[in-house]
Amino acid sequence: MKLQHQGFNLTPEAYLRREQPDAPIYFLDISKLENTLVQFKSGFQGMTTYAVKANPNPLVLRTLIDAGIEGFDVASVQEMQAVRALSSQVRLHYHNPLRSMREIEIAKQFDISSWSVDSVKELTKLGALPKGTEVAVRLKLQTKGGAYNFGEKFGATETDAIEILKYVVERGFEPAMTFHPGTQCEVASVWSDYIHACARVAKAAGIELKTLNVGGGFAAFRSSAAPEMVSVFDTIHQAVDDAFPHERSRLVCEPGRAMVADAVAVALQVKVIRENGDVILNDGMYGALGEWRDIPKLADRHLALYDIAGELKFGPKHARKVYGPTCDSIDCLPFALELPDTIIEGDYLVIQSMGAYSQSLCTSFNGYGGGEMVVCERITPADTGLVEICN
């Protein structure tokens, strides 16, 4: 599969008009995805990898490979297979630190360049690895800034990290450290805190880090609190200069959300409008909108309403309760949506910035979920029919 730019003159409106889909449909803007990669590659002084979990769609992976991404953070055998089906060259970083013995054995067939660990036990389980393979100790700190606590499940304390790092070197692996500030992290100083902590660990262990991986966590959706990407990069580079004045480890980042979120919009159809005005969509909390329950502020983004002929709909708006299609009453958006009064069954809601943790979190509960991805020349409306979601 080789993607080409010529010929992608499809727009969401044209697609809706032609196909009138009754299943969710995801629109991908390849140029937006490429531009975001360029932003990382030109602004971040290190290697940019992509966390496949955010969106493993082959169109996304293919676009990033064609645009020259160097590596992928993979968390499972399936994610390794997804990347290796498209490239035997790119680096794979297996940065899910908890693995079964079976997963470890299979992963060894995929030419993994870096493994993360957060305990001596899990490091021992890795057994023999090719000479020079990187092993990154995953650190956890008590920090706030991400949408939820990424230190809850993974990560070694500073004290434990010192011992693990020494063991990495004893085993003959290339010493590295990694952390994750928490997804949708809105406080740039969290990166700085982690980088200084990694420097303390390395110094206490008497080890020069070959690589420092500063994780994902870059905010895709910029509320007033979330810093611009360049200012996060500046904070990271300054912290590295301050914390490692004598040696400069190779830097790596592994964004998921920030890489792909804005490159994809989803179209959901209005299945039913109840007598009381409630709206039932063809996908909801068990599908494309699942993350809105955990991170409701991510829903503070734009949507547009189209009729079945792909025409934008305008008019006065009122707040409506919105449900997904399943038989479960908690399949309900945790806030009302301001929607035009002209809304009728068969219309489409096209929601922007749905590239990350949307398609990848879909379940098939009640037989719903899923949905194709199509490439469009743009994914935002040509006209200004945007309405604000009310929450």
Name the residues that contact ligand PLP, by CB under 6 A: 51, 53-54, 73, 95, 180, 183, 215-218, 254-258, 356
CB 35 within 8 A of CB 63: no
Q: Of the two residues 99 and 313, which places its CB atom closer to ligand PLP in the complex?
A: 99
Q: Please count the CA atoms within 13 angstroms of the CA of 325 that sit on its side-chain side.
A: 21
- Give me the least distance between CB of 90 and ligand PLP, in Å please: 16
CB 212 within 8 A of CB 251: yes
Q: Of the two residues 46 and 216, which places its CB atom closer to ligand PLP in the complex?
A: 216
The rounded distance, in Å, linking the Cα atoms of 69 and 107 is: 21
- Give me the least distance between CB of 233 and ligand PLP, in Å please: 14
Contacts of 50 (CB under 8 A, 6+ apart): 61, 64, 69, 71, 72, 73, 254, 255, 256, 259, 260
- Give me the least distance between CB of 55 and ligand PLP, in Å please: 9
- Give me the least distance between CB of 215 and ligand PLP, in Å please: 5
Q: Of the two residues 135 and 304, which places its CB atom closer to ligand PLP in the complex?
A: 135
Q: Of the two residues 183 and 352, which places its CB atom closer to ligand PLP in the complex?
A: 183
Q: Write out the two tokens for 115.
A: 């493994």
276: left (phi over 0), alpha (psi -120 to 50) or beta: alpha
Q: Of the two residues 167 and 179, which places its CB atom closer to ligand PLP in the complex?
A: 179
Q: Of the two residues 214 and 305, which places its CB atom closer to ligand PLP in the complex?
A: 214
Q: Of the two residues 165 and 214, which places its CB atom closer to ligand PLP in the complex?
A: 214
- Give me the least distance between CB of 240 and ligand PLP, in Å please: 18
The rounded distance, in Å, linking the Cα atoms of 271 and 384 is: 24
Q: Write out the two tokens for 131.
A: 């000479």
- Give me the least distance between CB of 239 and ligand PLP, in Å please: 18
CB 93 within 8 A of CB 114: yes
Q: Of the two residues 80 and 343, which places its CB atom closer to ligand PLP in the complex?
A: 80
b/e per residue 268-298 (b: at least 16 CB within 10 A): bbbbebeeeeebbbbbbbbbbbbbbeebeeb
Q: Write out the two tokens for 13.
A: 């409106």
Residue nearest to ligand PLP according to CB distances in the complex:
216
- Give me the least distance between CB of 45 and ligand PLP, in Å please: 18
- Give me the least distance between CB of 56 and ligand PLP, in Å please: 12
**DSSP of 232-276:** HHHHHHHHHHHH-SS--PEEEE--SHHHHGGGEEEEEEEEEE-TT
